[in-house]
Amino acid sequence: MATNRGRGSGLLRFAESRKNLAGCAGGLAGLALTFTGAAGAYWPLVVAGLYGAGALIAPPERIAAPHFPDAAEQLDVLREDFTRLREYVASLQLPPAAAGRLTELDALLSALVEHGQWSSDPDSFHALTRAVREDVPEAVDTFVRARWWTRFTPGTEPPERHLERQLTLVHEELATVASSLRKAEEQRQESLTYYLEKRPSRSGD
């Protein structure tokens, strides 16, 4: 059944192709010559020849370029991932210090995820994506698994210390991203002010 469907779709694509349509146009021209008597007894060859000629001169099928998600589409998906990350973290019992650091990080992530101007700064967007999809969930998951083993190995370094440090490092990286965005907005604002100050006045028109 799958083979038959594949053949059917292939025939349909050929029937709708430019070469077949151009060939059919040539074949119709051959039939017109046949009806007028110009093709004579060799009309089948004339029709077939004009069909073949039309198919040969038809432009090749244009293959559509692959679609890659733009910044807006990627941001929509990232927002969904961030929502799932929040739900995952909310389901866990974390130490107070780590929970406080995670709350600060969540506020910063939320502000960055809501920021919509990422097309001109792919490196910062990559850092944000990595934090949401890799850094934070991996840090939390590693802590949860390491904490389970501490009951069997007392006296070892508390795993929450690593978690706090990891979250701090992620927060510092994203704070740098936020600072760059703030500076870019300030420069844009200053440029607009300069433009408005230098723009010729039309009050006397």
Give how many domains the chain has, as a whole number. 2
Q: Domain check: are 46 and 82 in the same one?
A: no
Q: Domain check: are 168 and 99 in the same one?
A: yes
Q: How does residue 54 score in pLDDT terms, banded at 50, 70 and 90?
A: low
Q: Domain check: are 95 and 34 in the same one?
A: no
Q: Domain check: are 39 and 124 in the same one?
A: no
Q: Domain check: are 165 and 83 in the same one?
A: yes
Q: Domain check: are 6 and 83 in the same one?
A: no
Q: Domain check: are 105 and 11 in the same one?
A: no
Q: Domain check: are 155 and 104 in the same one?
A: yes
Domain that holds residue 10: 2-57
Q: Domain check: are 168 and 126 in the same one?
A: yes
User: Quick one: pLDDT at residue 47?
Assistant: 55
For the chain, the three-class secondary structure string (H helix, E strand, C coil) is: CHHHHHHHHHHHHHHCCHHHHHHHHHHHHHHHHHHHCCCHHHHHHHHHHHHHHHHHHCCCCCCCCCCCCCHHHHHHHHHHHHHHHHHHHHCCCCCHHHHHHHHHHHHHHHHHHHCCCCCCCHHHHHHHHHHHHHHHHHHHHHHHHHHHHHCCCCCCCCHHHHHHHHHHHHHHHHHHHHHHHHHHHHHHHHHHHHHHHHCCCCCCC
Q: How does residue 6 score in pLDDT terms, banded at 50, 70 and 90?
A: very low
pTM above 0.75, yes or no: no
User: Quick one: pLDDT at residue 100?
Assistant: 92
In a domain, 45, yes or no: yes
